[in-house]
Amino acid sequence: MTTLESSPGVHKLGQTPGVATTLAEALRPFVGGELPVELHAWDGSVAGSGPVVHLNSPRALTRLLWAPGELGAAQAYVTGEIDVEGDLNEALTHVWAVIEQRGLTGVSASIGTVWRAARAARRVGALRRRPAAPVSQAVLKGRLHSKGRDRDAISHHYDVSNEFHDVILDDNMAYSSGYYSAPEMSLEQPQDAKLDLICRKLGLGPGTTFLDVGCGWGSLSLYAAQNFGAKVTGITIAAEQKKFIDARIAERGLGDLVEIQLCDYRDARGEHDAVASIEMGEHVGQDNYPTYVSVLRRSVKPGGRVLVQAMSRKGTGGGNHPGGGPFIESFIAPDMTMRPVGETVALIEAGGLEVRDVHGMREHYVHTVNHWVERFENNLEHLRTLVPEEYIRVWRLYLVGGGMAFRDGRMGVDQILAVRPGAPHDLPAVRDF
């Protein structure tokens, strides 16, 4: 039986306290009391209570000194300098609950408190020069949302490995929220239901010309052609995605119905019966969103329908982190911009489209991400043959954190259906979708 005197986090009079105890005392003003986790430091000391977190290296603390908060913690986690024992979702949910309970958002510290924390960092060997960023962290150059920078941003996330995404996603390779009539549905069913819903909302049919802006791995483009007979043009700036879709077009004999162009959305040409853009507008940036809407408008015939499926974020302009937070913005989707759905609707209307329907689907994304997490964890051995361990840790944090954001209402997703004025539209007065 461990006695109080021999516990790693406790020290006798005259002894130097362990790393965990030193950190717990230094962080008390910042976390509003006791550590909300059970911290196991590299020297064997333990402090706090809650989910078990292993602090494997002083480098983790150095990262947090240079990048306090979410970014530093994420850098330390993806490099293995911090480990979380057990279920990551449960651990992060607990920490978020403590943050809310203690009102820690926006907490400021006095100069004295910061000085004492810096002294503690020095005592445990964490006061060092800034560590290099993890190799999985995005490094983009060039003018924000220039065509070249946008290509690099998309390539960072989507061109890692088609096979990697194929393991996690459904057979359609749909990388967006599914549409669930019941949580127990398999992943393929709600993704088929989502694609079918979009095609019906757009009024697609045999011979209908359809533009898929930001077509991903072609889930919607192929579905619209194969199941509705639409003549489809899909555009993407991800070279690996185009290769993947072109192969599927050939396999399914859809060459006469589907053409995929390696093309920036700003260079889209032609006027179509219908246009859709599924969770792509988040990547164009706030300043370029009017340009994005103008492309959607000019690409559809007067009276034609436009459907945008867009993720949303609370707070005017998406709050302090419209890209979803420091981790997402640095590792997953650099330069991404989200905003409240009302602001997106206003931008679409300001761009000359008439909004007819807004369909909130936030809960559907929770179920979708849960399925992605399940496939990810069940196929770890195979995934580790495709990408380095650091990327595995990035994706685990990404999937778990994203699912929590939708679950807790910090992010949402909506389908916005609009028409281009200038000719009568044929939307039914009573919807069957």
pLDDT surpasses 60 at 105: yes
Q: What is the pLDDT of residue 13?
A: 39
Helix (H) / strand (E) containing 194: helix 188-202
In this predicted model, what pLDDT tens digit does every residue of 25-52 receive, in sequence order? 988 888 889 999 999 999 999 999 999 9
In this predicted model, what pLDDT tens digit does every residue of 68-90 receive, in sequence order? 889 999 999 999 999 999 999 99
Q: What is the pLDDT of residue 126?
A: 87
Q: What is the pLDDT of residue 16?
A: 65
- Choose the weakest-confidence range: 134-148, 304-318, 343-357: 134-148
Q: Measure the CA angle with vertex 78, ends 237 and 329; round to 5°.
A: 40
- Please state, in angstroms and rounded to a whole number, the distance separating the CA atoms of residues 95 and 83: 15
Once rounded to an integer, what is the mean pLDDT over residues 94-101?
91
Once rounded to an integer, what is the mean pLDDT over residues 377-404?
96
Better pLDDT: 117 or 407 = 407
For 132, list phi and psi in degrees, rounded to 5.
Answer: -65, 145
- Please state, in angstroms and rounded to a whole number, the distance separating the CA atoms of residues 13 and 93: 37
Task: Assign 49 to helix, strand or coil.
Answer: coil
Q: What is the pLDDT of residue 114?
A: 67
Average pLDDT, the chain: 91
Q: What is the pLDDT of residue 165?
A: 93
